[in-house]
Structure 1
Amino acid sequence: MSGWEEAYWEPSFGAPARSARQSGHYQRYVPDFVDGMMLAVNGDLSRKVAQAERALRALNDPGAGGLDGIARFLLRSEAIASSKIEGIAPSAQQVALAELGQMESVRGVSDQARLVANNMTVVRRSTTELVEAEELTVESIVDLHRSLLPDEPRHHGLRTVQNWIGGSDWNPIGAGYVPPAADRVPELMADLVAYLNGSAHSPLIQAAIVHAQFETVHPFTDGNGRVGRALIHTVLARRGLADRAVLPVSLVLATLKERYVAGLTSFRFDAPRGSEEASLAINAWLEVFVDAAMVAVAEARELMERVEDLIRDWATRQTEHRMSRGLRAIPRSDSASARLLMTLPEAPVVTATTLARILEVSFNAASAALDELHQAGILQVKSIDRGASAYIARDVLDLVNLAERRLASTRFDTRESPPARPVPARQQADQ
């Protein structure tokens, strides 16, 4: 049976003040195992889950088009949320230039942008490894955590000490939440991985339970939030529900922070396993998670539609430019300029060298394609190093910033409520 147990905190004599050297009793949570858990999902919620999963499958359908084009948008937003940046959200252009800087020399890129770009690479690589693995183990999760905190070895591995959320830095007395004792963590993580490898529940419900149980166990001394977010995508991708992009569920949950915390609090029930009371508590959390998933699907669909509209607008501009030059109105579908038009949403900042590698064409063909779209007013040129320039699709970067601001609004519309967490400024100028 899950519930709260009383523990006693011995004072830390290295604390800076007498108040921090406090000792006393506190309550920590002992969760039930989730593998093989009995769960009754209420009728209204089950229908909402089915609706959300149908919408997500439709979004993920290769025939739908567009999701591949916004995959990097969503990954970038997730990377910002998973980066330890205090109150700073680098602009889309800065991050795109930092990504370019991983392959070519680029001046003037901020450290924050480099951090996000590097985190994008890590999140993409790590979650791909988890998704493709035949079977996950506890060590798989430990490896994911290590990759997300590469420069913090003191936090690597399952915790061997008590941790807590909120309250004092020196003791858990009065903390907002205290996870289970460290000696319970290995078996709780083994149970969580066993559940993750199965399919007892629908993909969306499984993702919700994996995330809530992971955050409840809080198995690491730092970086739990980053791993918990990655596990949402891991479940949805392994179950074939969202394997082409990171659905921004965790970003919606971060925006709706009060509901999110209330949902997790409900999940930490004090009742016999399989009881009606336990099911009601879990249902309350599932309601929060599924609502967030439905918002995430709606926002991803809107972004897809905006990208598709943008590509149509570009095609019109390209046609008008070509006709003004006496060229055939529409380039061949296999030409570098036609393929570049479809590549820009995924790679909005490129050089001729990078484009030649992406499209597998000659440097001259890549240069000609970039120049054509520049002349058509689709791309702008920016100096990135002595004698080197990059081509930038600012329309795409504007969409990225708009999407991030919408996802950070508690109404998911900045006209109705401003962003509730750090995002790039509107119409931010890049130097």
Structure 2
Amino acid sequence: MAVLEDAFWTARDETGLPSRDRRSGPYRTYLPDPLGGRPLVVHPDLSRRIAQVERSVRGLAEGPAGTDLEGLARFLLRSEAVASSLIEGIAPSSANVAVAELAQTEDVQRVGDQAQLVARNITIVRRATDELVALDEVTPDDVVRLQASLIPEEEHHGIRVVQNWIGGSNWHPLDAQFVPPPPEAVDPLTTDLLDYLNGSHHSPLVQAALVHAQFETIHPFTDGNGRVGRALVHTVLARRGLTRQAVLPISLVLATLRDDYVLGLTAYRYEGAPDGPEAFAGTQSWIATFVEAAAVAVEQASALVAAVKELRVDWDGRLARHRTVGGRREVPRADSATARLLALLPEAPVTTARTVERVLRVSYPAANEAVQELAAAGILRARQLKRRTTGYLATEVLDLIDLTERQLASTAFDTRTSPPNRAVPARRQV
């Protein structure tokens, strides 16, 4: 039975603090029901909606568009990386992040500190999540390692042994918006949560929704709960086969619809028996919030993939015209470096001749000829990365990614109607 438990906070003897932060007094912690064995009945209308959204997610991931999305999706992790790096203000553009990614394998100068932090954290988030997906069974130690990967600057990693809280004072929980379970309840609740994550009692979207809400309710770490909780959403969906490596930007939608997100989590934290009316109503409310966020994420990801598909067609036309003017056949050979590089651009929109040589396993002259040809056709734009190193950017792909992230940060998911409500890349000035 989920309950609010009475507790008492004894103020620490901290000198120099104002009296409001040196208060002692009663507060209440929330102790949720375990997930294992919890009865769950989904309303028929919600059940049909879940099935509909899951079909759309599978269609996006399994169709030809899924390949493009896998390459593009890492850029949609930029908001997570921005949060992980504690960067404030305008997020670095996709172009700058892509150049910083390139700098991880090539000697590139003039890479901004913010872009380097974001690129490094994107790599960490993807690697850490992929490792969880590949495990036969996720354990508490695995989740602690995920926390350590996402917030390496934190001094103490691991399941908390102190009381934490959300909102109010940094010094006491008396005015907190929410107080998670007491420390002694965290270990068994976390073990129960991961037992549920390792199973398949419910559909993938329902499981991801419950795992995320329960994790955020337990709040098992002193820091990094939000980042780990969002990573677990991707972990569940990939482990259940609903998505492949592509990251569906559900967490970005939930971050934009923050009021709905908080209301949904609050409703999930019912009091009473797990089969009671409060539990039914609260759980339905949260699952509905999560599923609708998934639906918006699919719509936005589909729009991005469709735009890239149109761009590919336009590229083919540009390349054909360029080759015709030069007296060459319109379409390059399918096994040529030019054709192979053109197909790779959505995944690697910033490259150099040396990178093309390594990735495509072709000679340097062939790689250099490919980037030069695509630049001459107006598909790539040259940018000096170092004295003797020229980078080639598919700026139109990068602009589409930036536009998608700006749309995802609009409460109307349309920046013409509602401006972004968090840090996003500035629009590139043409």
Normalising by the residue count of structure 2, what TM-score does the alignment of the two structures yield? Answer: 0.97
Q: CA deviation digits over 1:39-83, x for unaligned, max 9?
A: 110011101100000000101115445323423333344433544
Calculate the aligned-residue CA RMSD, in Å.
Answer: 1.3
CA contact (8 A) 1:67 1:304 kept: yes
Aligned ranges 1:141-220 → 2 under 5 Å: 141-154=143-156, 156-220=157-221
- Greater alpha carbon shift after TM alignment, 249-258 vs 170-179: 170-179
Paired residue for 2:132? 130
Distance apart, 1:357 and its partner CA: 1.6
Q: Which aligned pairs between 1:253-402 and structure 2 lie closer than 5 A?
A: 253-402=254-403
AA of the residue aligned to 1:97: V
Mapped to 2, the partners of 1:153 and 1:79 lie a distance apart of 19
**Cα distance per residue 1:236-281 (max 9 Å; x no partner):** 0000001130100000000000000000000000021122321111
Secondary structure of the structure 2 residue equivalent to 1:66:
helix
* Pair 1:73-2:75 in alignment: yes
On the 8 A contact 2:3/2:30 being kept in 1, the answer is: yes
Give the residue type in structure 1 aligned to 2:414.
Answer: D
Which residue in 1 is equivalent to 2:57?
56
* Match of residue 3 from structure 2: 3
In the alignment, does 2:93 pair up with 1:94? no
Q: Please name the residue that 1:416 is paired with.
A: 417
Amino acid of the structure 1 residue aligned with 2:286? W
CA distance in 1, matches of 2:77, 2:311: 20
Separation (CA, whole Å) in 2 of partners of 1:347 and 1:246: 16
1:222 aligned to 2:223? Answer: yes
What corresponds to 1:29 in structure 2? 30
Name the CA distance, whole Å, in 1 between partners of 2:240 and 2:341: 32
Q: Given residue 398 of structure 2, which amino acid in structure 1 is its aligned partner?
A: L
Shift of 1:85: 1.6
Q: Distance in 2 between matches of 1:50 and 1:62?
A: 18
SS in 2 for 1:4: strand
Question: Which piece of structure 1 moves more, 22-31 or 356-365?
Answer: 356-365
Query: Which range is displaced more, 273-282 or 44-53?
Result: 273-282
Residue matched to 1:114: 116
Q: Check 1:409–1:340 CA distance in 2 against 1; reply closer, same or farther (3 A cut).
A: same
Count the aligned residue pairs. 428
What's the TM-score once normalised by structure 1's chain length? 0.97
Structure 2: which amino acid aligns with 1:96?
A
In structure 2, distance between residues paired with 1:321 and 1:70: 27
After TM superposition, the structure 1 stretch with the greater mean CA deviation from structure 2, 280-289 or 57-66, is 57-66
Which of 138, 141, 165 aligns to 1:139? It is: 141
Moved more, 374-383 or 62-71: 62-71
- Give how far 1:84 is off: 2.1
Shift of 1:24: 0.5
